[in-house]
Structure 1
Amino acid sequence: MIAPAEPTRPVRRDWRQGLLPPVVAWLIANLITWLVARASVNRDGIRIAYWSTADRHRWDSGNYLSIAKTGYEMFWCRERYANFPDVLCGNAAWFPWYPMSVRALSATGISYEISAVVITEVSLFGMFAVLWWLLGARLTWATGLTLAIGTVFPGGIYFHAIFPIATGTLALLVCIAGVKRDSWPIAAAGGFVAASCHPVGAVAIGMLPLSAFFAWQRDTWPIRCAKAGLSAALAACGVLWSKWLIWQATGHWDAYEMFQKSSFQQGDVRQPFEEMRNAYYFPFSDWYKPKGHLPWLVEHSLAAHRTQLWLNIAFVLLILATAAVRLTRNRRLEVEEWAALILTVSIFLLPFFAGAEKSWYRNHAQMFVGLVLVRSMPRWIQVPLLAACSIQYALLGAMFFDGVLV
């Protein structure tokens, strides 16, 4: 006869291995970010209050909050501001999932600003939880170091800001999880949310058709193609839904494209290496320098976007090398590894083809999905990568809190 206590043992063990590591990772990520904030100052030379919503608010945050509060609008700037350039103003260049989530949560009585931070932090915890599941939910040196790198991931300061970066990254991880679980509805749902969070999320629409070649292995080729195609089509509906909402408010189906071209001179395909060069030399530190005496971290962080680019390039090359080694040795990659590989390379390249010299570093933060392959790297690579990411996280984090980054 089985003793009553016996069945509870696996449950407790599963809880510790399945939930505790993501919780610890989320707490450490916030602790590190708080320490970076403590070592930074804002544009008036005042120390950062990490737990305030104001110090998580940067540039585009205002556009997301305005969509949440009053919806979309687009107008010629000179109609309201006489001395403004003759370009389009408004918020039609920002996607709706994140601000609509903020609006939904604010209906409970919480302020829009606090709602935005709550959604961001919940999304970040979700990122660690889904990543942990994709890593096998088993604590080893490889998975522990991978999770540690995630707490200081390059560009990850935007996982705490009033931006859709954490929510979009979570959606991409859910998309990968759906492909791994052989569930096209989950993959499609993740792709839909990713594509309606941020333009970078559209990479899921490109990855899902390719999944017919590495996923859905239990099905025949027609069924595999149908699952891949249907999940991609439903993910693409995220873009259509976004454009529909903007059209409803502005009267223009191409309002997003109009805004990008008028205000940001974007919309055409760029020369990627030229855009990479422009991104590297963009003079962020000329825009703003804090008043008074600068803390050491602030003084050394005003050009941190340059080391950020080198680290991002190294990360992508390591991901490609890891995939190549695994293909050489094992003749195959796991389903989730193929998906993560395609998404990571696409996320890296997209800003340089689209032209995002002032915002590529936060777009690249969504390469967090590449951590699925970091698990397979040898420890002698994981440890230096963790050290490099930790240093760079502090530098770019200070650059963010200083108010230099957009």
Structure 2
Amino acid sequence: MTRLPLSARIRPPRLGRLQGLLPPVVAWLLTNLITWLIAKASVAGDGSEVAYWSTGGRRRWDSDHYLSIAKTGYEMFRCRDRYADFPDVLCGNVAWFPGYPMAVRAVSATGLSYETSAVVVTEASLLGMFAVLWWLLGARLTWATGLTLAIGVVFPGGIYFHAMFPIATGTLALLACIAGVKRSSWGMAAAGGFVAASCHPVGAVAGGMLLSSACFAWQRDTWPVRCAKAGGAAAIAGCGVLWAKWLMWQATGRWDAYETIQKSSYRQGGLRQPFDEMRKSYDFPFSDWYRPEGHLPWLVEHSLTAHRTQLWLNAAFLLLVVATATVRLVRNRLLGAEEWAASILTVAIFLLPFFAGAEMSWYRNHAQMFVGLVLVKHMSRWIQVPLLACCSIQYALLGSMFFAGVLV
């Protein structure tokens, strides 16, 4: 009979579980420390030390809309009815989805302010992201998994994982959806898809992935059952969008409130030419529109066009994920269900903003490509280390744009 090593025999089971939780907790602490240092280097004046720890430091344009939904629900009105000098377009908050605001409302029931509740939801979601990712990586510390987790700490666009936005919550839901597919847990996959779709329009890609999951998941079932599970999970994910539209209808009396305000106020709607949108996104003049006044810290001065390097890095990450999946498929003749799911989601998340039109927000939407880290585990260390270096530099640059108020 094989005897266990002495260290394994005397280690209490609970200690082993705690050690399994340690890497994602350390990753969460590190990303907060790094982000605080970036904030400190990006904000001039006496408030630099507290900018990151204040709720105001994590609040940008759309944050106000999410907070208003959490506080009072949805509304839509003609801008000139309240603001005489405003263009004759529609105003309101029906262009934003309810998943994140409803979570903020629930936490605020504890007595916390809405702003503090929003930060709590965001940071709890980020910790959950690292925990689920760690499980998907096998929950075993190696060079490959350690470097993958490190890349997650400074993931491109990940500055929005700390902001009052639904990006972290939606990404956690997508990871839960992948975990459900890996575990053959239909309920978890469907619930993750629902939450992802209710948090952000980009989350709707979960429905497409789940619909296609009949081809690579639920392997223990017969084909009719696999198709039923895939279709049912996709339908439940789609209900996240229907729930959002139902809430908007309840408040405004219009089922097309979301589409109407997008077209009236933001000139969005319908499909766009993706390469034209990429060019517009690349050329968007953030440094002219939102340049801070006065003396700029060194990091801010050198990061005012960091959205351009962000697009290149995001595209490179996409290609690396697709290449890794392709190589594994050719070598092994098979991809794991979670690898299929992560690959499909990564490609869809990258493309969707350019088909929908999001020249001022694609960089935060692309942060949800965090799910692609499931494939990074299988990359060569010669790829992982340079990728970590590039992500670290870009995280500092985009983070500086954010805390300087250049990004929205």
**Is the contact made by 2:174 and 2:193 (CA closer than 8 Å) also made in structure 1?**
yes
**1:38 partner letter:** K
Per the alignment, residue 136 of structure 1 pairs with 138
- Structure 2 residue 168 is the aligned partner of structure 1 residue 166: yes
Post-superposition offset of 1:331: 1.0
Post-superposition offset of 1:108: 1.1
Residue correspondence of structure 1 range 3-82 to structure 2 within 5 A: 6=9, 9-16=12-19, 18-41=20-43, 47=48, 49-82=51-84
Match of 1:100 among 99, 102, 105: 102
For structure 2, list consecutive stretches of 5 or more residues without a partner in the other structure.
Answer: none
**Is the contact made by 1:149 and 1:386 (CA closer than 8 Å) also made in structure 2?**
yes
Per the alignment, residue 380 of structure 1 pairs with 382
**Is the contact made by 2:43 and 2:51 (CA closer than 8 Å) also made in structure 1?**
no
Per the alignment, residue 397 of structure 1 pairs with 399
Residue correspondence of structure 1 range 2-401 to structure 2 within 5 A: 6=9, 9-16=12-19, 18-41=20-43, 47=48, 49-401=51-403
- The 3-state SS of whatever aligns with 1:343 is helix
How much is the aligned-residue C-alpha RMSD, in angstroms?
Answer: 1.5
Post-superposition offset of 1:45: 9.2
For structure 1, list consecutive stretches of 5 or more residues without a partner in the other structure.
Answer: none
TM-score after normalising by structure 1:
0.97
CA distance in structure 1 between the partners assigned to 2:286 and 2:293 by the alignment: 16
Alignment deviations for residues 154-190 of structure 1 (CA, whole Å, 9 cap, x no partner): 0000000000000000000000000000011100000
**Is the contact made by 2:191 and 2:237 (CA closer than 8 Å) also made in structure 1?**
yes
Alignment deviations for residues 265-310 of structure 1 (CA, whole Å, 9 cap, x no partner): 1111000000000000000111122232211101001111000000
CA distance in structure 1 between the partners assigned to 2:113 and 2:334 by the alignment: 49
The 4+ residue runs of structure 1 with deviation greater than 4 A are 5-8
**Is the contact made by 1:45 and 1:290 (CA closer than 8 Å) also made in structure 2?**
no
**2:341 partner letter:** A
**2:278 partner letter:** M
Post-superposition offset of 1:13: 2.2
CA pair 45-348 structure 1, distance change in 2 beyond 3 A: farther
- The 3-state SS of whatever aligns with 1:257 is helix
- The 3-state SS of whatever aligns with 1:39 is helix
Aligned residues: 402
**2:64 partner letter:** G
Alignment deviations for residues 24-80 of structure 1 (CA, whole Å, 9 cap, x no partner): 0000000000000010127x8953611000010000000000001111000010111
CA distance in structure 1 between the partners assigned to 2:11 and 2:198 by the alignment: 42
Post-superposition offset of 1:11: 3.5
CA pair 165-293 structure 1, distance change in 2 beyond 3 A: same
CA distance in structure 2 between the partners assigned to 1:209 and 1:65 by the alignment: 33
**Is the contact made by 1:45 and 1:292 (CA closer than 8 Å) also made in structure 2?**
no
- The 3-state SS of whatever aligns with 1:219 is coil
**1:70 partner letter:** T
**1:13 partner letter:** G
**2:348 partner letter:** S
- The 3-state SS of whatever aligns with 2:42 is coil
Taking every aligned residue pair, what percent have the same amino acid on both sides? 78
- The 3-state SS of whatever aligns with 1:162 is coil
- The 3-state SS of whatever aligns with 2:77 is strand
**Is the contact made by 1:67 and 1:99 (CA closer than 8 Å) also made in structure 2?**
yes
